[in-house]
Amino acid sequence: MGHDASTGAHLDRAVADLRYGGVGINAWTALSFLLGRGAWGAHPGATPQDIGSGSGVVHNALLFDSVQKSVTRGPFRPFPRSRATRS
């Protein structure tokens, strides 16, 4: 199944619209936590009545103001190529 040049723009818009503090694209979401540079936690705007993805953030080693989310991207590797091979 092919895609046109706008596929990347559609994916970027969809990720931007997600209301989560950590997003993984072809990667484990917790990777941004383990790397330590990106912020990890809730998307801003949650209230105790509608907590959503949580409250507050941790890490933010780069000290960004008003962090919304950290996005971790990895290459797409369809199975079985994604599986490590032994020599």
pLDDT, position 17: 92
pLDDT of amino acid 14: 93
What φ, ψ does residue 24 adopt, rounded to 5°? -120, 130
85 has pLDDT over 70: no
pLDDT level of residue 8 (50, 70, 90 thresholds)? confident
Cα–Cα dist 27/60, whole Å: 19
Q: Tens digit of pLDDT for each residue in 9-36?
A: 898 999 999 888 888 888 888 887 788 7
Domain spans of the chain? 28-69
Nearest residue to 52 (alpha-carbon basis) of 64, 44, 63, 62: 44
Determine the pLDDT at residue 4.
66
Q: Hey, what are 13's tokens?
A: 């818009």
Q: Is the CB of residue 73 less than 8 Å from the CB of residue 29? A: no
Q: Would you state the pLDDT for residue 78?
A: 72
Is the distance from CB of 20 to CB of 53 less than 8 angstroms? yes
pLDDT, tens digit (0-9, with 9 covering 90-100), for 44-59:
877 888 877 778 777 8
